[in-house]
A and B are shown apart, each in its own frame.
Chain A
Amino acid sequence: MKCKGFAHKYGDHIDTDVIIPARVLNNPDPAALAAHCMEDIDKEFVKRVKAGDIMVGGLNFGCGSSREHAPISIKAAGISCVIAENFARIFFRNAINIGLPVLECPEAAKEAAMGDEIEVDLDNGAIHNITKDKHYVAAPFPPFMQKIITAGGLVEYIKNKRED
């Protein structure tokens, strides 16, 4: 599976409070959450984002609260995958569980700039920054996690297991 879109670039330690503030968590509807995604650090994000776009972060992306609303809001905003130098563990786990692809690739994350056109091949972790004409490869997922991803998230994975 391939994703292609423009980069929305952010810095280190992007926390789940800025991804989706608690004041809007009273409505967990994905579309309602998407309307407020990133608004505390980037008011233009929701206006700028187009389906398929790619979010790029630095170190420890998604730190803080365990709110699954954070990856849900990013996915519902149209982001096809998140590339970061690395991720906070709960966010990483939540993203995999809800079927939002997350790739760890320090070089690709550092070198990408806001608005760069990026193509990602999720099957092999190949990242192509088209604007800069540079190629990278993200760290592969452990086989166990790949099974959850292939199933389309933890819900489907558990469902399949129950049916076995």
Chain B
Amino acid sequence: MAMTMTQKILAQKAGKPSVVAGELVECNLDLVFGNDITGPVAIGEFYKMGATKVFDPNKVALVPDHFTPNKDIAAAGLAKTTREFARKMGVHYFEVGQVGVEHALLPEKGLIKPGDAVIGADSHTCTHGALGAFTTGVGSTDMAAGMATGTAWFKIPEAIKVTVTGKKQKHVSGKDVILHLIGILGVDGARYRSLEFGGDIAQLTMDDRFTIANMAVEAGAKNGIFPVDEVTLEYIAAHGGNKGVAYAADPDAEYVQEVVIDLNEVPLTVAFPHLPENARTVAEAEKMKIAIDQVVIGSCTNGRIDDMRAAAAVLKGRKVADYVRCIIFPATQAIWKQCVDEGLMNIFIDAGAAVSTPTCGPCLGGHMGILAEGEKCVSTTNRNFVGRMGHVTSEIYLASPAVAAASAVAGYICGPDSLE
């Protein structure tokens, strides 16, 4: 029976020669992780299950990244619960000062490798499919069961094949590609399905791939996955070196839908409020002269070094517009340091941007950049739902780091080439 990449991984982890879409399987997990919001709830459920220790401390990670550095007393309590459990169980744990946004940090630390099956109590766990692994978001109770048993049940998903062709145009990044794709599929177009990427992917950097896989869930997908190639292997060699197992889809694997993304035709793209599927071209947005109050550059979607470089390239020698707040969040300490080493930090500060320690903070309206009534924000994050970053009347426009940086300078939504 021909299988997709996802189906092959799930079959292997379920100990079966093959699986078919719709089948329910129980899989062994290579990593189970959560954060300071989902972790404490999972820890409570873990003990309720009667569990006393995790199945394998080396295969469990707790990443306190959402409300850290602790935003208030209640959040400090959640971080404390997370820390104490991690210490007691001896699992992977990253304290403030070493912590980063989980979906940037875990691959950097070499904790996820090709062919792995991973669950994370965070919807953007699909990010790690960029490494050729099956990784999917679950809730706290599934995380608890995963920590206790090392297994999870899955319904084998159908797949949508996304073939990349053509050449990436100037300033276009993985963010434009995924916003464009969600514009085509809709926010439920891949519901319960895998998004399996292929075609001419060599031109997509690892960071492009992380960004694209990250937002698979915004089309409703169970996971997004890229085949393993030289780009993947180069990344892995620099981050832990564990090559895992590379799975390729069978040539005759079945797909419920096939989409071709011709990169020659993918423009700079922005998703308008209040759904990620509201994709418009930046050129179209620019004509509307949408005045903005804040720009956020960072998150599990766009807080990696490519993103920092793209923002710096635009901000270099320029100033953030008056009365606009531009806040930049390198996603991990290593990326932060690289920004210092490459001189990007000076560019950001000279431009009048604020640079923060890694946190998910503003993306989910947690802290570090909440929006007031009626404010508009261009954000490199992943969701522009009602009230996501603050007041229910605030508006979020999702875009790439290059577009966000250009908008910060102009004071309205625009692309880098429109700046003087």
Identify the A interface with B (CB < 8 A).
13, 15, 17-18, 21-23, 25-28, 40-41, 59-60, 63-69, 71-72, 86, 88-90, 93-94, 97-98, 142, 144, 153-155, 158-159, 162-163
Contact = CB atoms under 8 A, between A and B. Distances in A.
Interface in B70-101: 71-72, 74-75, 77-78
Contact of B149 (A71, A86, A93, A158): A158
Scoring B138, B144, B364, B385 by chain A CB atoms within 10 A of each residue's CB, the highest score goes to: B385
A40 B371 CA distance: 14
Q: Shortest 10 CB-CB distances between A and B: which pairs?
A: A94-B139, A26-B74, A68-B139, A97-B141, A60-B188, A22-B364, A66-B123, A40-B387, A68-B140, A66-B137
B149 A26 contact: no
Contacts of A142: 24, 155
Given A23-B365, A68-B41, A162-B49, A97 B24 contact: no
Given A93-B142, A154-B142, A144 B385 contact: no
7 contacts: A17-B388, A18-B385, A26-B75, A65-B383, A90-B139, A153-B141, A158-B148
Contacts of A71: 139
Contact of B138 (A13, A15, A66, A158): A66
Given A60-B187, A90-B137, A66 B38 contact: yes
Contacts of B188: 13, 59-60, 63, 86, 88
Nearest to A13: B187
Interface string B23-49: 010000000000001101100010011
Nearest to B75: A26
Nearest to A99: B141
A65 B121 contact: no
A148 to B, nearest CB: 9
Given A17-B364, A142-B155, A155-B48, 14 more contacts: A26-B77, A64-B385, A66-B137, A67-B38, A69-B37, A88-B191, A89-B192, A89-B222, A93-B138, A98-B139, A153-B141, A154-B141, A158-B50, A159-B50
